[in-house]
Structure 1
Amino acid sequence: MLTLKGDKVYLRALEPEDLDFIQEVENSEDFWEISSTRVPYSRFLIKKYLQNSHRDIFDVKQLRLMICRLDDTPIGLIDIFDLEPKDRRAALGILIVSDENRGKGYGAEVLKLISNYCFTHLCLHQLYANVTIDNLASIKLFEKCDFKPVGIKKDWVLVNGKFKDEILYQLINNVY
C-alpha cells in the first residue's frame, strides 16, 4: 500500500502540469499571510522551481507535495521545510485551496499521512508548525492531529499594519 495514500486523499510529487495550479496559489494574496510571501512569483520562476522539485529533501531541506482527492483532483499543497537532519526536525505547512474542500477531513488525513512519512521514512523526531492566533481552522486541525501548543510568539507577524501573535505547535515522535 502506498504510504502517502489515505481514504480520502493522496500526496504526490509535483509535476510540470502543476504549473498553473502552483502559480495561482503562490500569486493569490489570500494566501500570502500564511506563506510569508509579499510579492508575486513569475511563471518562469515557478517553472524553474518545478524543474528542480525532484531534488533530495536532505539536500534542499524542503519537500512540497500536491494534495489530491482520490479522483485525482488537486486540492492543495503540503510542505515539509526547514529540515534540520542533525536535530531530526522539520516544519510543516498545509494549504487546502478552496472553501469547498475545507472541513471534509482532508487536512487531518494529510497531516497523519505526512507525519507518518516524516517519522517512518525520514526518521525525524519532531514536526512543528506556526499558526497565527486568529487562524482557528488551522488551530483546530493541528490540535485534532495531536500537535501540542508549546508557545506563543508575541507580535510575530505584521499583517495590514497590525501585529499578530503566532502559536508554535509540535508533534514529537517518541518511538525510535
Structure 2
Amino acid sequence: MMTLTGKKIFLRALEPEDLDFLYLLENDETIWEVSETQVPYSRYILKEYLKNSHKDIYEVKQLRMAIADFDQKLLGFIDLFDFCPKNKRAGVGIVILETSQRNRGIGTEALQLLTDYAFAHLGVHQLYANIAVDNTASIKLFSNLGFKEVGVKKDWNFTGGVFKDEILYQKINNS
C-alpha cells in the first residue's frame, strides 16, 4: 500500500492554514537563490496559490506537499515540478525552513517518500534535481538517495554578483 507517512514525518496536501508558513518561506531571501525568486510574494498571491493547490498534477504539471511532523508542525515543502507524463519525468525540490530542523533526517525521509510516490503512484520513470555546486547539503541528500550526477551547467545561475555552476542529478526507476 502506498503511503506518504514515514517514521519522523508525513507528507500532506497544502491547507489554507499554511499561509503564514508559506509567506515566511517564499519571502525568505536566503533561499531565493534556490527558488529563483526575485521579488517578495504578497499574502494575497499566496492565498490564491493555496486556493488552487488542489488542482491535479496532470493539469498544472506540479505538486507541492507540506512536510509535517506528527505534532502537526509544518517543517517545509517538497515539490514535483515540470511534470511530463509523456516522458514520465519530473523535477524535484525540497526546502526545510528552520535551520534547527535540518540535518535530522527529515529531508531524507521526505525525499524518499516523494520518490516512492512518484515512481509507484504517478508512474514516473525518472526524477531530476538541479543543485548549485556549493549546496553541499542538497548534494549529499540527493546522492545518498541514489540520485546520480549526470552533468554540470556552467555559469548557470547569477547570484551575489557571480556566476555559479549548477549540477544536474537524476534518478531513474529501473523496477
User: TM over 0.5, yes or no?
Assistant: yes
Aligned to 2:103: 103
Structure 1 Cα separation of the partners of residues 46 and 154 of structure 2: 33
Aligned to 2:21: 21
User: Counterpart of 1:58 in structure 2: which amino acid?
Assistant: Y
Structure 1 residue matching 2:44: 3-state secondary structure: helix
Structure 2 Cα separation of the partners of residues 71 and 104 of structure 1: 16
Compute the displacement of 1:137 (Å): 0.4
Structure 2 Cα separation of the partners of residues 125 and 18 of structure 1: 31
Aligned to 2:51: 51
Query: Per-residue displacement from partner, 1:39-70 (whole Å, max 9, x unpaired)?
Result: 11111100000000000000000010000112
Contact in 1 for aligned 2:63/2:79 (Cα 8 Å): yes
User: Counterpart of 2:23 in structure 1: which amino acid?
Assistant: Q
- Indicate the percent of aligned positions where both proteins have the same amino acid: 57
Instruction: Determine if the alignment matches structure 1 residue 82 to structure 2 residue 82.
Output: yes
Query: How many residue pairs align between the two structures?
Result: 175
Aligned to 2:12: 12
Contact in 1 for aligned 2:12/2:65 (Cα 8 Å): yes
User: Counterpart of 1:69 in structure 2: which amino acid?
Assistant: D
Structure 2 Cα separation of the partners of residues 107 and 49 of structure 1: 24
Structure 2 residue matching 1:90: 3-state secondary structure: strand
Aligned to 2:146: 146
Aligned to 1:94: 94
Structure 1 Cα separation of the partners of residues 45 and 152 of structure 2: 34
Structure 1 alignment gaps of length 5 or more: none
Structure 1 residue matching 2:140: 3-state secondary structure: helix
User: Counterpart of 2:147 in structure 1: which amino acid?
Assistant: F
TM score, norm. by length of structure 1? 0.98
Compute the displacement of 1:160 (Å): 1.2
Structure 1 residue matching 2:167: 3-state secondary structure: strand
Structure 1 Cα separation of the partners of residues 108 and 15 of structure 2: 24
Structure 1 runs (4+) deviating above 6 angstroms are none
Structure 2 Cα separation of the partners of residues 71 and 5 of structure 1: 13
Structure 2 Cα separation of the partners of residues 162 and 155 of structure 1: 8
Instruction: Determine if the alignment matches structure 1 residue 114 to structure 2 residue 84.
Output: no
Structure 2 residue matching 1:3: 3-state secondary structure: coil
User: Counterpart of 2:100 in structure 1: which amino acid?
Assistant: E
Structure 2 alignment gaps of length 5 or more: none
Structure 2 Cα separation of the partners of residues 33 and 120 of structure 1: 31
Compute the displacement of 1:161 (Å): 1.1
